[in-house]
Amino acid sequence: MNKTAIRKAAAALLVVPLAVTACGGNDPGSSSSVIKLEFWGWAPGYDKSVERFNASHKDIQVTFNKLPSGGKGGYDKMFSAVKAGNAPCLAQIGFESVPTFLLENALEDVTGEAGSARGQFIPWTWNQVSIAGRTYGIPVDTGPTALYYRKDIFDKYRIEVPKTWDEYAKAAEKLRQADAKAYILNLRSVDLAGLAWQNGARWFAAEGDTWKVTVNAAQTKQVTDYWQGLIDKKLVNVTDEGYGAAWWSALQSGKVATAIGAVWLHPLIAENAPGAKGKFAVAPMPQWRAGEKKFGNEGGSSTAVLKGCKNKKEAVEFATWMSTNPDSLKNLIKVTGIYPAATAGLSLPEVNTGVEYFGGQNIFKVFAEAAQNTDTSWQWGPTQSQFGADLTDAVNTAYSGKGTLPAQLDVLQTKTVEALKSKGLKVEG
């Protein structure tokens, strides 16, 4: 997308002005020598990075307040605080939700304060916090994806690690033949966007002043047709809620033999399935065509500056430090499970070493390959909160047997177009 198109898209985004009052920190003219900033987020480990920053910056002090994750109420609380004029300066915002926050006029333009930091980050991650050449936060991490698999189960039943999705389906059949109570995967935990991204889908694109929506285009249809086939053959589980107690238990017992997810999933598996220590390994995502190297991304986040912040310079200073400081990165890699957006983070030993839980495998080499071969042109739409809820409804309807994934994709397409139009945006789709 050229810059002119992006500018027009940004203008279309910013159609809902909100009256806000300055908030989120000390008045720049205050006599206080210490600037106090508030930071809202939910990721484990963020509080430890804040502690490290406070210990080394006496003139800026940050307070981290933990919220529910964005989709579980955190974003709603942020929007409410912006509207009330008492939002914090800093907020954890996923890449996918930055356009939504812009649509709601909930972000500060920090281009002037953040511009010099741009060169410290992987270029495509900077694009995720910028629209029309204006910047609204600092990238923290990306979400390269891979296949987590139970090596002991694969070895026991002589199942080859699949290199293609066709081979994955055959592995699913072989596992079910060997153990009628086992599944290759719990599909409820899998991010459909990441799978579509891998296959070259483009769900949203800003063209001039129009948003083009192609959620149900051929690339995503191929993905949903594939998984619906596995559902119909009862080769994947769709009954246990993803990341719930039953899901973790099935992974630990081996009744579910693989998980598809981003790098940040690895510490969660270690924490919630301790009995499977040494039994898991990580392999590249299966490909649609043999020999290809195409990957999707799941997640990725920023530290954004919310509307009304009176201390933008200090807010950006903290956000940049958290994403680039070696001590902070080591903490976030270990505790949060991030894959750094900062280029300096990619050379740290913590992202190039064996992981005890995974039998000493250097799993980060797998994620590095995925990160290097992820299509960076993917764009999120401007009503992500509503879109995320509609996407969840669509897949849950299919998993419950009340519909199919391909059919629900068409329903999602219609809902998404209507949602964008309701915001006064020009839409094609």
Q: Output the pLDDT for position 28.
A: 46
Q: 199 vs 144, 153, 175, 202, CA distance in Å?
A: 14, 28, 25, 9
Q: Output the pLDDT for position 12.
A: 39
> Is residue 17 predicted with pLDDT exceeding 50?
no
**Could you tell me the pLDDT band of residue 32, with boundaries at 50, 70 and 90?**
low
Residue-wise pLDDT tens digits, 412-429: 999 999 999 999 999 998
Rounded CA separation 69/286 (Å)? 29
> Is residue 131 predicted with pLDDT exceeding 70?
yes
Residue 35, token pair as written in the block: 């600037």
Cβ 136 vs Cβ 110: under 8 Å = yes
> Is residue 307 predicted with pLDDT exceeding 90?
yes
Residue-wise pLDDT tens digits, 348-367: 999 999 999 999 999 999 99
Q: 42 vs 39, 74, 75, 111, 364, CA distance in Å?
A: 10, 8, 11, 25, 24
Rounded CA separation 86/327 (Å)? 31
| 44-56 mean pLDDT | 97
> Is residue 314 predicted with pLDDT exceeding 60?
yes
Residue-wise pLDDT tens digits, 134-174: 999 999 999 999 999 999 999 999 999 999 999 999 999 99
> Is residue 10 predicted with pLDDT exceeding 80?
no
**Could you tell me the pLDDT band of residue 119, with boundaries at 50, 70 and 90?**
very high
Rounded CA separation 165/226 (Å)? 9
Q: Output the pLDDT for position 31.
A: 44
What is the set of domains in the chain, with CATH numbers?
A: 3-142+300-351 (3.40.190.10), 145-296+378-428 (3.40.190.10)
Q: Output the pLDDT for position 15.
A: 37
Q: Residue type for 335, please?
A: V
